[in-house]
Amino acid sequence: MDLCAAGGHRPSFCALADFAALLRAQARASRQRRLVVLAGGREWGRRAARALLGGAGLDEPLWITDLPPEGAVAGVVPPARRGRLLGSEAPLVVLDLWAGLDADALGVAAGIVPGGGILLLLTPPLESWEGWQDPLRRSFAPHPLPPERVAGRFAGRLARLLQGGAEGVAVIREGVAQLPTLSPATAPSSLPSRGREGRAVTVDQQRAVEAVLRAARGQRRRPALLIADRGRGKSAALGIAAAELLGEGEGPLVVTAPHREGVEALFRQAGRGEGSALRFLPPDQVCRTLPECRLLLVDEAAAIHPSLLEQMLEHYPRVALATTVHGYEGSGRGFELRFGELLERHTRGVRRVELAEPIRWATGDPVERFLDRALLLDAEPAPVGEVAAASLETVREISVDRDLLARNEPLLRQLFGLLVAAHYRTRPSDLRFLLDAAGLHLRLLMEGEWVVAVALVVEEGGLAPEVAEEIVAGVRRPQGHLLAETLASHLGMREGATLRSHRVVRIAVHPALRRRRLGRLLLGRVVETAREAGVDFVGASFGVSAPLLSFWLGAGFRPARLSIRRGASSGEHSLVMIHGLGNAGRILEEKAVERFRRHFPCQLGDPMREMDPLLAGRLLAACGGTHAMPPAEIIGELHRFAHQRVIPEEVMPALHWLAIHAPALQDFPPDDAALLVARQLQHRAWSGCARHAGLSGRREVVARLREIVRLAIEMGVAGTHLHR
């Protein structure tokens, strides 16, 4: 085959090779990256890619594809395993979007290309994207909806941006002979200065290294906090500091981050692999085992659940944290607003360093600019000054048409920026879910033209009886029906799948407007809208914590199921709460809560033994008590223990009964309920109960239990004073 033949009205492969050589030279001269889009048939795109690779002088690119190129042995990663690429580097990456329009894969692929490199996208013709049935559409189609019914708003928006002629982005189309015009190469705006021990680091990175060293050597409880966009060298700064500390014998050091792959730069700069002096542990394992270390290094802190971060700050006096503001792992400026309260509670001040100058590519990198816009990596919520006066009286509620949202960039940026700022794990794929997911409804609270709160609600349930039976039998898990599957599969309640439900996927309030009851107002509107639509019940699933439990209880929701295992990312058990609307929904709610009331106390004895007893007590209270009178024997044993010198082991059934029912007493002290739960339901050792209650040992714990039993009797525990 003549590779230089044009083959009709299309660029010849020789011309593509020449184009690639010039593009690569410009990228290297400017120390910036370039983005090339090959838009056409799949086979044409693969052949054109090989011509470009040869012209760029890069014979071993990294392919991210489900269809490895002919002859490729290494350098091929399936899209599903893209996460393993975090922290790695490749001068040329080919991302095959024919495998699926994966926003997360696009974010990862761009991040591993250094300055002077090229990101190559293989795509269908841009004009066809909005109607293109890419393989990932099925993941946004709840059963029984066919993928063809899923909107292509995300793809259409991305195609429009690519067609807009962004600088540094070259679109090469099959059937169009003319190649894009390359703008003249520009010299890099700055070069990294030489840093400690000859390493090339910016002044910002040097300051970051020094802040980490002071956190390790200076005043305790003054952590270092490194804030930067992607590619600024914050992870490397942690590694450089680690190398100096270990070189001086100041170890051991523990590294934690959401993904092991994401800290490769840290270990490279530290100059060693994992060992006794420097080791990696996932965040939940750090909090569970609390390993000893001179300094805890926390990378991508914003992507770690706040409860785990709080445990780390409570336990470790010397901590260095780094987090991405804008980028694939970014969480926006909202992280500092969310995290500020924790820092105030657990530290004596923060050594904060912001790294502005990029290291892995030059300032003004066109790929960074394009992806920031395309994936909203730099989206932020409304400015605090514009929404500071927001209140229940001034905000208005609106429902958003997503066809219009996809073409309203200011509103889309605000909305997505709020989601990023309010939640610790928001990814580019969430943008596609926001725009494309079938059955999704968006409700906003607005202060003037500014978004102050958002609720994402999906339609679920309404499944056929035969499908519900298959879920109960454990042979089917229909996509897009989390509540239905949970209630039918785990609780055996078929009606949980056949009844219509709405699930609140996410509810977020502007970080500067917390505790103004805006979230409660918006959730109330969500419930009323569902009621008006004839929906049977509304529900949600989330990692349970005391504040979240209080929020949902205050809105009328009640616990239905708690996951047996903790989530690895959150360190918390997932709680499903529901709120019945119609008669059938209310009956389902009562059945689910009654089942929870029976099962939860038993689960506390083994699978949930490590749960915070204070939270466990609140969950027991959330179930409500029972109006049934306890057996006379139970009442007698409680009186004997309260007023006579009977040891607890002699009246264990009575104390067990009390631990289950006392938390539901109106105004029963939560700390007292927690001590009952810890000893009688979780079977914790006397020493552990003493530590939790701030007592000296068994004798004081027993004395306190007697006081608690006397209080419960006075409050009417043996009567009918238990509230629902």
Q: Residue range 588-616: average pLDDT?
A: 95
Average pLDDT of the chain, as a whole number: 90
**7 compared with 27, residue with greater pLDDT:** 27
What single DSSP character describes residue 3?
A: T
CA 324 from chain centre, in angstroms, equals 14
Q: Residue range 673-702: average pLDDT?
A: 96
pLDDT digits (tens, 9 = 90+) for 479-494: 999 999 999 999 999 9
Q: Which domains does the chain have, with CATH numbers?
A: 13-173 (3.40.50.11040), 201-355 (3.40.50.300), 384-622 (3.40.630.30), 623-714 (no CATH)
Residues 6+ apart with CB under 8 A from 262: 86, 87, 235, 299, 300, 329
Residue 5 predicted with pLDDT over 70? no
Element (H, E) at 466: helix 465-472
Find, among 33, 86, 162, 169, the residue nearest to 427 by Cα.
86
What pLDDT does residue 200 have? 45
77 close to 41: Cβ distance less than 8 angstroms: no
Residues 6+ apart with CB under 8 A from 25: 185
Find, among 349, 286, 371, the residue nearest to 105 by Cα.
371
> Residue 488 carries which side chain, given as an amino acid letter?
A
Residue 3 predicted with pLDDT over 50? no
Whether the ω angle into residue 381 lies within 30 degrees of 0, i.e. cis, is no
Q: Residue range 667-693: average pLDDT?
A: 96
Q: Residue range 6-33: average pLDDT?
A: 81
> Both tokens of residue 340?
């500020």
The DSSP line for 81-123 is GGGGGTT---SEEEEEGGG---HHHHHHHHHT--TT-EEEEEE
pTM: 0.90
What pLDDT does residue 331 have? 62
> What's the CA gap between 408 and 403, in Å, rounded?
9
pLDDT digits (tens, 9 = 90+) for 367-425: 999 999 999 999 999 999 999 999 999 999 999 999 999 999 999 999 999 999 888 77
> Both tokens of residue 60?
């071993």
What pLDDT does residue 190 have? 52
> What's the CA gap between 410 and 383, in Å, rounded?
13
Residue 721 predicted with pLDDT over 50? no
What pLDDT does residue 177 have? 77
What pLDDT does residue 179 have? 86
Helix (H, G, I), strand (E, B) or coil at 443: strand
Burial (CB count within 10 angstroms: exposed 0-12, middle 13-18, buried 19+), residue 609: middle
Residue 195 predicted with pLDDT over 60? no
Cα three-residue angle 353-358-359, rounded to 5 degrees: 100
Residue 4 predicted with pLDDT over 60? no
> What's the CA gap between 477 and 474, in Å, rounded?
8
Element (H, E) at 43: helix 42-56
